């Protein structure tokens, strides 16, 4: 099973800090986690094994990430009614999202600031 998440903004990167994970059905579930940059190149990756007996806090501290994939494989069912390579997630921590404004947004900002500057200048000339 593969699970992915990404920044809602194409130009936004974030720090993927940590997450608690548990194997939902298969004990000994191997999880591979890949972090991608804006060009969809793998910039960070790691693998670890999860148990169905309780959560494991995995700490990543990956910076400059735009998307992350979790890929579960292997393990064996210890007798549960269900089955599969599913992962249970809790307390996922991501932060420091930075959004790079688009050029059109910068033009609007510059126009607004120029307008405000013109108003301030005009008021100063009137008061002089």
pLDDT tens per residue across span 15-69: 999 999 999 999 999 999 999 998 999 999 999 999 999 999 999 999 999 999 9
**Segment 78-115, tens digit of pLDDT:** 888 888 899 999 999 988 655 555 666 667 777 777 77
Q: What's the order of all strands across the beta sheet hosting 42-50?
A: 2-6, 67-73, 29-36, 42-50
Q: Are 11 and 38 in contact (CB under 8 A)?
A: yes
Residues 6+ apart with CB under 8 A from 81: none
How far are the Cα atoms of 13, 32, 108, 128 from residue 101, in angstroms, in the given order? 12, 33, 11, 38
CATH number, domain 2-100, options 2.40.10, 2.60.40, 1.10.3470, 2.60.120: 2.60.40
Q: Which residue ranges make up each domain of the chain? A: 2-100
Indicate the pTM of the whole model.
0.72
Rounded Cα–Cα distance for residues 86 and 110 (Å): 49
């Amino acid at each position: 099973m593969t699970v992915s998440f990404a920044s809602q903004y194409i130009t936004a990167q974030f720090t993927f800090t940590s997450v608690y994970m548990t194997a939902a059905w298969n004990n000994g579930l191997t999880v591979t986690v890949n972090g991608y940059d804006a060009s969809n190149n793998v910039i960070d990756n790691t693998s670890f094994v999860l148990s169905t007996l309780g959560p494991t806090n995995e700490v990543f501290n990956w910076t400059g990430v735009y998307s992350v994939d979790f890929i579960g494989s292997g393990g064996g069912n210890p007798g549960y009614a269900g089955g599969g390579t599913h992962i249970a997630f809790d307390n996922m921590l991501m932060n420091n999202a930075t959004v790079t404004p688009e050029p059109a947004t910068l033009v609007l900002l510059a126009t607004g600031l120029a307008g405000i500057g013109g108003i301030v200048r005009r008021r100063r000339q009137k008061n002089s």
